[in-house]
Structure 1
Amino acid sequence: MELNPDLQEKKIFLIEGLKRTYKGQYDAIQPLPYIKDRLYCVDKVFVEGGVEVCLAPELTPGTRGSWERLDSYKSIYTDFRFKSKRRIIQGEPGYGKSTLTLQLAYDWCNEVSDSPMNNVEILILLRLRQLGSVKSLYRAIKSFLLFHEPRVSKHDIEKIIHSCSSVHIILDGYDEYPGRDSNDNDDVHRIIKMELFTDFDVSLTTRYLPECLTEEKKRAKLTGFDDKARDEYIGKTVVGNNDEAVAEIKQRLYENSILADICQVPLIFVMFAHMAHDQRDFMKFKSVTQFFKHMIRCFYDHLKQKFKDNRSNKFYIHEMEHHELDKIAFEGLNKKNQQLSWIKTGFRQRVGPEPYDQYISIGILVEEDEVSNDSIGNNVSFTTMVRFYHKLFCEWYAAHHLVTLVKNAHDLSDMLRFLDPFDLQYLFRFACGLDPDAGKKLINHLKRLSGGDTFAILCILEQTGDVNDIMDSVKELCSRTANIKRGDSALLQRSTTQLLEIASKHNIPISCVDLDDCSPRVDESGLNLILQSGLSLCIMRSLQKLEIYDRNRRLTNKEVAAILSYSSQCTSLKELRFQLYDLPVTIPVGSIPSSLKSRNVKVWNRIDLVTNRRLNLQTGQWQASRDDEERQPTSYVTTSHYNQPAANRPTPDDAAQERTGSRKKCTVS
C-alpha cells in the first residue's frame, strides 16, 4: 500500500524514533549491576552461546523430539528447515534471550550486512513484562517505543505498519507477560496464534513453552555458554587481546570447578569473569552458596567505597538483615504461578525506604515502568514495578526465609508443594548451604522425591563444602552405569555430570556412562563432550566404559574421530560402544589414536537388535563379532525424573535380551 506524503514523512519519524529507543537500550548493557558507570554497547559484549532447533516436535509426553545444534543465532532465521512466520526462542533465566533481542535490534539499526534483520523494513521489539493491561499492539508501540515522538499517533502506526513490505515483531519474555496463558483475546495472543499479522515475521522469547502454542511453531533453544563462548567473552569484553589475562581468568574458573555448572549461565559467568579480573585476591569456592555470598559482599563493598562516612554502618546492617526481602522473594516463588515483579510503592513500604534505596543502588533490585491498569484511551499512565536483577537473586533471598520455615516445621511436603526443585534448584542448594540443620531436613525431603537422590548428593556438598562428605554416595553412583537421558530434566543431567566430574578428579572408578539419545559432540578444544542439552562432560580419566546411544543420528568420519580422540584421553577406558548409530563404513586409520591401540580399547557398534560390529583399530574396518562379553548384564543408575525408558529404546523383552542381558534400574541413595 502506497502512503500519502504526510504518512510517508511520519514513517520516517517512526523508523527514526524506533532506532532512537533501541539505541538507548542496546547501548546500556551493564555486566556488573553494582557498577552503574560501566555500560557497554550490546555488540561489544554479545557472544553466541549454544543454539539448537527443534526439527520435529515431541511425539509423546516426556520425549524431546528431534533437536539439532546451529552454528549461529542467524541460522534461526536463515536455515531453510526453520522457515516460518512464527518462531519461539526458549531459554532458562540468564541464558541471554533479551540480550539476543537487543543484538537483533542493533543489527537492524546499523544495517549489519550479514544479519537476518538487514532487509527488514520495520522492527518492533517489545518487552512483554511492561505491557500490563495493554491489549493493543499499536498502543504498546506508542507507549513504549515512540513515547518521545509526538508527530506519530497510534493510528499513524497502524496505517504505516500495514503499508510495509517487511515487518518483524519480537515479543520478549512471554513467561513474564501479565496476560500469559490467559484466555484473553489480546493482540499478543492473536499474533502468536496467527490470527493477526499473518504476513509478519514474529519471534517470541520465553522460559517455557506457552500453552496456547501449537506444535507447528518453530522452536529454538539457547543452551548457554560452552568453553569457546566463555573464552570469546573474556577476550572480547573483559581483557581484550591479552592471552595471558584470558588464561588467568580461565584458570580461576577451573580452580572453582564447583561453579562450572552455574557459570554455564551466561549472566552469571559474565559477573564471575569481571570479578575474577578485577580482584587480584579472588578466592577459591567450595560451594555455590559460598560464591553467591561472596558476590553479594562485593556488591556492598563497592557501594561502601563510595560513601566513606557513617552510612557504611547502615550498609552493613542491611547487608546482614534482610528478613522482609527474604519473605517477599519466598512468597513470589512459592505459588503456582510465580510472581517475579511487584508494584514499587507496596514493595518499598514493606522492606523500608532506606533498605529499598540501597538494594536499587547496589543493583540487587531493578525498577521498570509498566502501563497502569487504570490507563484510559489515549491517556496512558505508568506504574513503576520492581524485580530482582536475576531470578537467582530471588532464589538467594528466598532461601534465607526457607531456612527459617524449615527449621520450625514438622512436615515439609505441604509447605513446599509449589517449590519444584527441578525448577528452583539453587533455592534448595542455597538453603542447604546456609544452615546445616535445615539442610538435613531438606535433603531427606529431596531423597523421597522421584529422581531426587542425585540432586540430594549435590545438596550435601553444598551443605558441608567438603567433598569427603559425599564420597560414599559418589562411589555408589559410579559403581553402576550412570545413565543420562535426553528426556531428563536439566537439573538431573547437571547433577549427574557434576558428580561424575568429582569422581574423576578424585580417581574414583566410573563403571560406565550411558548417553541415551543425547547426541554428544566434542568441542573444539577436544576436552569436553557436549550433550544436546548444552551440558558438557569433561575428560573422565577414571571412566571404564562409555556407551553412546542414538537411533536416528548419522556420524561423519570427522565426528567419529573427535569422539575417539576424546575417549583416548579417558585413560582408564576399556570399552567404547556406539548403539544403533549410522557410522562410516571405514574409519581412517590416521584418525584412530595410538593410545586406543596400545591399550586395546574395544570399540563396538550395534547396528540393530542382533548385530554387533567391532572396530579393528589397526585397519579401521568394522568386523562382525559375537564376543561372549556381549552377554554380560549391566546394572543401571537412572537419573530420570519420570523413571521411564527413553522412547523406542529396546527393552529386556526384545530379541536382544539374550545378547545384552537384563538392565536393572536403581537409584542412588
Structure 2
Amino acid sequence: MERLTVQDKKAILISSLKSRYKLQYDAIQPIPYIKDRLYCVDKVFVEGGTEINIDKGERKEKEGPWVRVDSYKDIFTDPRMKAKRRIIEAEAGYGKSTVTLQLAYDWCNEVKDSPLKDVEILILLRLRQLNSKISIYQAIKLFLAPNDPRIKSSDIKNIIESCSSVKVLLDGYDEFPDRDGTTGSDVGRIITRNLFGNIDVTLTTRYLPKDYDKSNTKYVRLVGFDEKARDQYIRKAVTGEDEESVANIKRALKENPILDDLCQVPLLFVMFSHMTHEKTHLQKLKSVTSFFRYMIKCFHSHMRNKSLDKHAKEHMSEYESEHNELSKVAFEGLCGKNKQLSWRKDGLCTRLGQEFCQHYIAVGILVEEEVSAETNEQASTTDIQTKTDLRFYHQLFCEWFACFRLVEVVAATRNASELKKVLDKVDPFNLQYLYRFTCGISSAVGKRIIEYLKSRKDGDKFAILCILEQTVEVDGIKDTVRDLCSKDVCIKFDDSKLLQRSTIQLLEIASRFDIPISCVYLDRCSPRVDESGLSLILEFGLSLSILSSLQELRIWDNNRSLTNEELAAILSYSSHCTSLKELVFEYYVLTDTIPVGSIPLSLKSRNVKVWKTFDNRRLNLQTGLWQRCDGNGNVGLKGLFDRVRKRLGFD
C-alpha cells in the first residue's frame, strides 16, 4: 500500500470535514415536525443583532462598552477583535449554532468575502457530543472524519500542526458535560489556552466559563432579531416577495406585544413566521402559553394526519395528553440536583416506554444525537464508542413540559413558607418561560407564584408577564401597571436581560393603553437610536419603542460624551413621545451648542424642557445653546437640588 504523506492526509481530512459540514448546514429545519422540509443555512440565515465588547482590559460581568457591528463576519475581521480566543454569548435560541453553520458553509464554499476564505482547516465541534476523557483529536476523528480508515487521531494532530491557518469553533460550552469541571479535559485546556495556544478558537455559550484566558479573550454577544432582521427572514425563507403575506405576518406581531416580545428570539420567530404563513388563526393567540400550546398541538396533529392506522392515531392522542413522566424528566433536568438537558436513549426509553419515546422522536419534540461514550483515554480511536442520547428540540420545549410538573409541586405546598422553599430553587431569571407557562396552564397555582414573585426584589415587573399569561387581556392588569408607572421606572445597565425585557414590556403596555408613565430612568444603559429613529437600543440590544404616555425621560451615564449627531437622534426619538414634558441628561458631557435645525419642531411647540446636569444647564430650543438655570420661572439650581433630594428619598 502506498504510504500517504501529511499533505495527502490533510487533503483527505479536508474532504471529510466538508462532507460532514454539508450534511449539517443542509439540514436546517425551521418547523421540527415537518421533517421533509430542510433548508441550506445560506438560504435562511439573516443577520441578527451582533455586538462586540471593546474594553481593552479584562472584562467584568455585564461591563461595556458594547458596540453594534454590521455582520457576523466582523467577529473575525474587526481590528478590535484581534485575538486567539473569542467567546460568543447568547441565550438559548438566539442563533449561536446557526452562526457556526453559516461559517462552515462559507468555508466549504470558499465564499469570497468570508473571513474563513483562506483558512486551511476549520474544525467545528458540538461540545454536547463530547465528554471529559476524549481528546480533541479523538473527537475530530469520531465526529468529523469517522468513515475514512486512512486517518487516525494521531494523524489529525500532525495535520493541524502542519497547517498555516486553522480555526476552531467549539459550539455550546453550556451543554458540555464537564463544563466548569476540574477533570483537565482538552476542552478546558483549550479555553485556558494550555492547548491550541496559537490557534484561533471561538467558543459559543450561554454563560462565561469559570476559568478561561481572560487577558487574551474577546467577547461577542447575539441580541436577537430586530424588525429589519425579521423582515429579511420573512422575505428570504417564508414568503418571497409576496407583499400581502409579508404584511400579514408582520401585522400579527404588531398587534400583539406578547408574541412580539417572544419573537425577538430568532428560533421562535422562525417557527412563528412559517406557521402563521400556513395557519392564519395562529395570529389570534394572545399569550406565550397559548402560542406554545398551539405549537405543540401542531406537532402532534401533523403526525396523526400522516398516519393511516386508526389504532395508532388513538395511541398518538394518548401520548399527546398523558406525558406525566416526561414532565418529571424535564423538571428534574432543569431544577433537580443533577441538572441535565440530555439523557441516555436506552435509559429514557425504559422510563417513558419505548413507543412513547419513538412517538416523541417522530413528532420532533425529542431529538436523537450521537455522543461519545465515557472511555479511558486512549492513543487510537478504534476502541472509542458512541452512544445515543435524547434531548429536547430546544430548552424552551423542556421548560414547557417541566411546567406541568411544577404545577403539581406548587399545588402540593401547604403555605407560603413551603412555596418559597420550592421556588427559591427555580431561578426565574434563568427559567422565565417555565414560570410563564406554569402561570398560563393553572390559574390557582399561577396566583400563588405571582404573589411569590412580587415578594422578590424586582420581581413585580416579571410578575406582570406572568399575570398576562393568566388574564390574556391587558384589562386585567391595568391597575397594577398604573401603580408601577406612577413611580419612577428604572432600567439599569446591570439588570438581567429578563428584568430589562419585563420592564420594557410593562412600559409598552402602559403606552399602548394610554396609562401615564411618570418617569423612565435609564441608568448607564448607553442608549442609542436605531436606524428608523423610532426606538432606543439599550443594554443587551433590547429596544424601547416610542412611549406616547411618557412624561419624563432621564438618561444617566458617568462622564459619557455625546456627539451632536447622537444628541439629535435622542431629541428626535423624544419628540415622538407626545406626552413628554422633560428630558434630562445626567452627568453627560455635551457640546456647548447644537445646530438649531437638529431640534425637532414638536419639542419647540410643546416647550419640552431639556436639561443636562453636568454643569446645570438647560437647552434653549430656539438658539441651540445650553444656558445656565436662572431660577426665574424655570427649574433653577434650588429646584434642581430639590429634585435630586426627592429622587434620593430625602423628602
Structure 2, gaps ≥5 residues long? none
Aligned: 1:486 with 2:493: yes
Identify which of 615, 622, 635 aligns with 1:629. Answer: 635
Local SS of the residue matching 1:169: strand
Identify which of 542, 564, 584 aligns with 1:557. Answer: 564
Equivalence for 1:269? 269
Equivalence for 1:306? 306
Counterparts of 1:528 and 1:329, CA distance in 2: 38
Counterparts of 1:135 and 1:65, CA distance in 2: 36
Amino acid at match of 1:195: N
Equivalence for 2:100? 101
Local SS of the residue matching 1:108: helix
Amino acid at match of 1:240: G
Deviation string 1:329-381 (CA, Å, 9 cap, x unpaired) is 00011135631110011111222222211211111111100011147743121
Equivalence for 2:128? 129
Equivalence for 1:636? none
Equivalence for 2:525? 518
Local SS of the residue matching 1:194: coil
Aligned: 1:614 with 2:618: yes
Equivalence for 1:581? 588
Q: Does the CA-based 8 Å contact 2:87-2:218 persist in structure 1?
A: yes
Shift of the 631–615 alpha-carbon distance from structure 1 to 2, 3 Å rule, reads closer
Aligned: 1:407 with 2:411: yes
Equivalence for 2:365? 364
Identify which of 652, 658, 661 aligns with 2:645. Answer: 661
Counterparts of 2:638 and 2:265, CA distance in 1: 41
Q: Which stretch of the first structure deviates more once superposed, 54-63 or 331-340?
A: 54-63
TM-score relative to the length of structure 1: 0.92
> Following TM superposition, by how much is the alpha carbon of 1:262 offset from its aligned partner in structure 2, in angstroms?
1.4
Aligned: 1:344 with 2:381: no
Counterparts of 1:404 and 1:664, CA distance in 2: 44
Equivalence for 1:115? 114
Counterparts of 1:169 and 1:276, CA distance in 2: 38
Q: Which stretch of the first structure deviates more once superposed, 442-451 or 620-629?
A: 620-629
Equivalence for 1:85? 84
Local SS of the residue matching 1:48: coil
Counterparts of 2:100 and 2:143, CA distance in 1: 16
> Following TM superposition, by how much is the alpha carbon of 1:116 offset from its aligned partner in structure 2, in angstroms?
1.2
Equivalence map 1:386-405=2 (5 Å): 386-405=390-409
How many residues are matched?
638
Local SS of the residue matching 1:457: helix
Structure 1, gaps ≥5 residues long? 634-655
Counterparts of 2:449 and 2:117, CA distance in 1: 52
Aligned: 1:499 with 2:483: no
Q: Which stretch of the first structure deviates more once superposed, 136-145 or 47-56?
A: 47-56
Counterparts of 1:57 and 1:392, CA distance in 2: 36
Q: Does the CA-based 8 Å contact 2:558-2:588 persist in structure 1?
A: yes
Q: Does the CA-based 8 Å contact 1:168-1:201 persist in structure 2?
A: yes
> Following TM superposition, by how much is the alpha carbon of 1:479 offset from its aligned partner in structure 2, in angstroms?
0.5
Amino acid at match of 1:343: R
Local SS of the residue matching 2:494: coil
Equivalence for 1:26? 25
Equivalence map 1:639-658=2 (5 Å): none
Equivalence map 1:130-209=2 (5 Å): 130-209=129-208
Shift of the 587–270 alpha-carbon distance from structure 1 to 2, 3 Å rule, reads same
Q: Which stretch of the first structure deviates more once superposed, 581-590 or 94-103?
A: 581-590
> Following TM superposition, by how much is the alpha carbon of 1:412 offset from its aligned partner in structure 2, in angstroms?
1.7
TM-score relative to the length of structure 2: 0.94
Shift of the 264–336 alpha-carbon distance from structure 1 to 2, 3 Å rule, reads farther
> Following TM superposition, by how much is the alpha carbon of 1:63 offset from its aligned partner in structure 2, in angstroms?
5.4
Q: Does the CA-based 8 Å contact 1:630-1:659 persist in structure 2?
A: no
Counterparts of 1:459 and 1:38, CA distance in 2: 35
Aligned: 1:322 with 2:329: no
Counterparts of 2:226 and 2:561, CA distance in 1: 23
Q: Does the CA-based 8 Å contact 1:632-1:661 persist in structure 2?
A: no
Q: Does the CA-based 8 Å contact 1:57-1:215 persist in structure 2?
A: no
Deviation string 1:531-558 (CA, Å, 9 cap, x unpaired) is 1311111211101111122225433333
> Following TM superposition, by how much is the alpha carbon of 1:584 offset from its aligned partner in structure 2, in angstroms?
4.1
> Following TM superposition, by how much is the alpha carbon of 1:529 offset from its aligned partner in structure 2, in angstroms?
1.6
Shift of the 214–663 alpha-carbon distance from structure 1 to 2, 3 Å rule, reads farther
> Following TM superposition, by how much is the alpha carbon of 1:59 offset from its aligned partner in structure 2, in angstroms?
8.3
Amino acid at match of 1:161: I
Local SS of the residue matching 1:578: strand
Q: Which stretch of the first structure deviates more once superposed, 314-323 or 657-666?
A: 657-666
Equivalence for 1:56? 55
Counterparts of 1:17 and 1:274, CA distance in 2: 33
> Following TM superposition, by how much is the alpha carbon of 1:119 offset from its aligned partner in structure 2, in angstroms?
1.9
> Following TM superposition, by how much is the alpha carbon of 1:77 offset from its aligned partner in structure 2, in angstroms?
1.2
> Following TM superposition, by how much is the alpha carbon of 1:593 offset from its aligned partner in structure 2, in angstroms?
1.8
Deviation string 1:105-156 (CA, Å, 9 cap, x unpaired) is 1111111121111121111000000012443111000000000222211121
Amino acid at match of 1:266: P
Local SS of the residue matching 1:580: strand
Local SS of the residue matching 2:86: strand
Q: Does the CA-based 8 Å contact 2:193-2:212 persist in structure 1?
A: no
> Following TM superposition, by how much is the alpha carbon of 1:314 offset from its aligned partner in structure 2, in angstroms?
2.1
> Following TM superposition, by how much is the alpha carbon of 1:561 offset from its aligned partner in structure 2, in angstroms?
2.5
Q: Does the CA-based 8 Å contact 1:32-1:271 persist in structure 2?
A: yes
Deviation string 1:305-344 (CA, Å, 9 cap, x unpaired) is 2124413222222111111110000001113563111001
Equivalence for 1:210? 209
Local SS of the residue matching 2:343: strand
Equivalence map 1:400-439=2 (5 Å): 400-410=404-414, 411-439=418-446
Q: Does the CA-based 8 Å contact 2:407-2:445 persist in structure 1?
A: yes
Amino acid at match of 2:404: H
Q: Does the CA-based 8 Å contact 1:631-1:661 persist in structure 2?
A: no
Counterparts of 1:496 and 1:289, CA distance in 2: 20
Aligned: 1:604 with 2:611: yes
Query: Identity across aligned pairs (percent)?
Result: 57
Equivalence for 2:231? 231
Deviation string 1:490-529 (CA, Å, 9 cap, x unpaired) is 1111111111111011100001111111111222222222
Shift of the 147–391 alpha-carbon distance from structure 1 to 2, 3 Å rule, reads same
Shift of the 619–141 alpha-carbon distance from structure 1 to 2, 3 Å rule, reads same
Amino acid at match of 1:629: V
> Following TM superposition, by how much is the alpha carbon of 1:62 offset from its aligned partner in structure 2, in angstroms?
6.7
> Following TM superposition, by how much is the alpha carbon of 1:36 offset from its aligned partner in structure 2, in angstroms?
0.5
Q: Does the CA-based 8 Å contact 2:132-2:183 persist in structure 1?
A: no
Local SS of the residue matching 1:205: strand
Counterparts of 1:376 and 1:123, CA distance in 2: 24
Deviation string 1:209-263 (CA, Å, 9 cap, x unpaired) is 1101243221111111111111111111111123332222100111222112211
Counterparts of 2:638 and 2:353, CA distance in 1: 66
